[in-house]
Amino acid sequence: MFRFFRPSRPSSQHGLIYRVGWWIGRLVIAFLAISLGFTVLYKFVPVPITLTMILDPNGFDKSWQPLSRIDRTMVDAVIAGEDAKFCSHNGFDTRAIEKAMERNAKSNRLRGGSTISQQTAKNVFLWQGTGWTRYLRKGLETWFTLLIENIWGKRRIMEVYLNVAETGKGTYGVEAGSQRYFGHSAARLNQVEAARIAAALPAPKRREVVDPGGFTRRHGNAIAARSGVVRNEAMDACAYR
């Protein structure tokens, strides 16, 4: 004699887990599609605005310029000051990250080891600040860095970076910075001017570009000196291919 068993219905708990998993899956797929879509879009069109600009209490002034209308001395300066391995890494400088972790373990003042690619990903797609959201942002920053490295390429990354980086209170991009500080276009920046903008990039709300003193002046002078090495050794070549 055979006995047939009717399959038991899933419990309410299992149903809840299924529904939660279903929605999480939908959200992940939507995020991947949206992030990919915006990355492809920004490969071809100027970035119109960023969350950092929107949240800036000083408002914002910006002026987009193609890389061809930004003096090469500015490219050399940011490579010299921010990311000497820009043309040779895949978006991440593991040695710089390790050194930053070693410094942070010995100090209460956190210092990053972000590349220009990582900074561009953060500036365009994410937000600034510290706190617990910093860890979430770092994870997302890794994803967007991989996207722009593989979809944009180095030239576009540099172009976007120089147009969205904060160069002073309420000032974004080197064109707006050059007009504010020196009264002329970024196409006419000389080595000293470019180095002074680059020296202020890590702390644009605190560091002076015009008539800087102390550390900012010394840092700017060092960047100006290293900029010549960047040009002579073609460390900026990837931005012009």
Domain boundaries, the chain: 12-45, 47-240
Arithmetic mean of pLDDT over the chain: 91
Please check whether residue 61 is in contact with residue 163, taking contact to mean a CB–CB distance below 8 angstroms: no
Whether the per-residue pLDDT at 179 is higher than 60: the answer is: yes
Measured over the CA atoms of residue 172, residue 175, residue 176 and residue 182, the dihedral's sign is: positive
Q: What CA–CA distance (Å, rounded) separates 174 from 197?
A: 8
Task: Find the mean pLDDT for residues 104-122.
Answer: 77
pLDDT in tens, 3-45: 555 555 556 777 788 888 889 999 999 999 999 999 999 999 9
Element (H, E) at 158: helix 154-164
Whether the per-residue pLDDT at 119 is higher than 80: the answer is: yes
pLDDT in tens, 40-65: 999 999 999 999 999 999 999 999 99
Task: Find the mean pLDDT for residues 72-80.
Answer: 98
Q: What CA–CA distance (Å, rounded) separates 82 from 12?
A: 54
| CATH 3.30.1280.10 applies to domain 47-240 | no
Please check whether residue 48 is in contact with residue 164, taking contact to mean a CB–CB distance below 8 angstroms: no
- What are the angstrom distances between the C-alpha of 187 and each of 136, 197, 223, 241? 37, 14, 19, 19
Q: What CA–CA distance (Å, rounded) separates 117 from 90?
A: 9
70: nearest Cα among 190, 233, 234: 190
Whether the per-residue pLDDT at 194 is higher than 60: the answer is: yes
- In this prediction, residue 110 has a pLDDT band, given cuts at 50, 70 and 90, of low
Helix axes 191-200, 72-82, angle to 10 degrees: 40
Tokens of 144: 């967007």
